[in-house]
Amino acid sequence: MPRQILLNPGPVTLSERVRRALSAGDWCHREPEFAALTREINAALARVYAPMAAEFEAVCLTGSGTAAVEAMLANFAADDGLTLVLANGVYGERMAAILAAHGKPHELMQRDWQAPLDPAALAERLASGPRVTHVATVQHETTTGRLNDLDAVGALCREHDVALLLDAVSSFGAEAIDAEAWNLAALAATANKCLHGVPGISFVLARSALWQALPGRAGSVYLDLAPYYAGQHGDGYSPFTQAVQVAFALREALAELADGGGWQARRAAYLERARRIHAQLSELGVATLLDPADYSAVLWSYRVPDGDRYARIHDALKAEGFVIYAGQGELARRVFRVAHMGDIRAADLERLCAALERSFGAGR
């Protein structure tokens, strides 16, 4: 049986280097060596985008991507301001649900899942009505694979002095982030997607000035980032038990990212995979959900061909060692998704293309 390749949007197929790091040792999270590791990881996270390193600091949490998004919103969305959520998929809508759960003042600008964000409507809203203090949105809406146009959204945030809170869970490490141009205040992301670590650690990167001014009123004990920041950037310890082995893997994954040329090289590798898979699927008559120009490098969505079923496609590919991903909500029956993250080698890609041909080809 060939190795299984994950084409779902995280967890990803691990490199041998990261897999080996998982068993680096039995460490206690309250010993100085783990405190040093925490500081090392936080510094490396702040360096993934070089221009951010001087202004931003990271805090790691034991939890999935949603934990980091919730922590970011609970700590940085203002109680005495107004957060405008721009949503065009599951994860934008989840940001609004989190703000509602925390009783934070917010408005939702809801778009169809297949539509881009609407900068003209945003400009209009920022220019009139109750003052917006924060905009919350998703960089790569994994629901469809759309890379939202943050140059347009971020320019408006800067123009109107509105702080941007970004869900970069499925883009951090593989898409461009321009913190200055976008007036970025904070972002949330995770170890197990474009960074190629394993699930269990997520993190918030925020401007140092914001960390230092944290009021410590997060409406949550576990997700109150004030003690995390004080601990991880003080003696290096965290308030709660940390995912020690996941941290070993994340350190290695960050080193591997840097050794391989950083986020730009990773993005280029993903794009090459995207183009190869897209070329194969188009030849087999399988259409994309969105215009190819709208996709991220990380994940593309395809229409389930008329008369076919997601479950059949999934099972046929899984039998050949490839795990694809279903659509969500209203797209569940109509769409399948293919992510390009993880340790996917040229031979895996060729094997995948052959499997796609068998799965979708005339002879099936």
Ligand X SMILES: Cc1ncc(COP(=O)(O)O)c(C=O)c1O
Which residues are near ligand X by CB under 6 A? 9, 64-66, 69, 91, 138, 142, 167, 169-170, 190
Task: Judge contact between 181 and 158, C-beta under 8 A.
Answer: yes
Which of 342, 335, 341, 356 lies closest to 144, judged by CA? 335
Min separation Cβ 65 and ligand X, Å: 3
Residue number, 280 or 301, with CB nearest to ligand X: 301
Residue 167 CB partners (closer than 8 Å, separation 6+): 65, 69, 91, 92, 95, 136, 137, 138, 139, 187, 188
Task: Judge contact between 162 and 133, C-beta under 8 A.
Answer: yes
Which single residue brings its beta carbon nearest to ligand X? Answer: 65
Residue number, 65 or 236, with CB nearest to ligand X: 65
Min separation Cβ 339 and ligand X, Å: 9
Residue with tokens 């050794």: 259
Min separation Cβ 170 and ligand X, Å: 4
Min separation Cβ 91 and ligand X, Å: 4
Residue number, 93 or 252, with CB nearest to ligand X: 93
Min separation Cβ 143 and ligand X, Å: 8
Which residue type is seen at 49?
A: Y
Residue number, 37 or 166, with CB nearest to ligand X: 166
Q: Where does the chain show beta strands of DSSP type E? A: 5-6, 56-62, 83-87, 106-110, 134-138, 140-141, 146-147, 163-167, 184-190, 201-207, 299-303, 322-323, 325-326, 335-339
Task: Judge contact between 178 and 154, C-beta under 8 A.
Answer: yes
Min separation Cβ 199 and ligand X, Å: 7
Q: How far is CA 319 from CA 3, 261, 298, in A?
A: 11, 34, 24
Residue number, 197 or 236, with CB nearest to ligand X: 197
Min separation Cβ 10 and ligand X, Å: 6
Residue number, 139 or 238, with CB nearest to ligand X: 139
Residue number, 69 or 253, with CB nearest to ligand X: 69
Min separation Cβ 346 and ligand X, Å: 26
Report helix, strand or coil for 7.
Answer: coil
The pairing of beta strand 299-303 with beta strand 335-339: antiparallel
The pairing of beta strand 163-167 with beta strand 134-138: parallel
Residue number, 66 or 110, with CB nearest to ligand X: 66
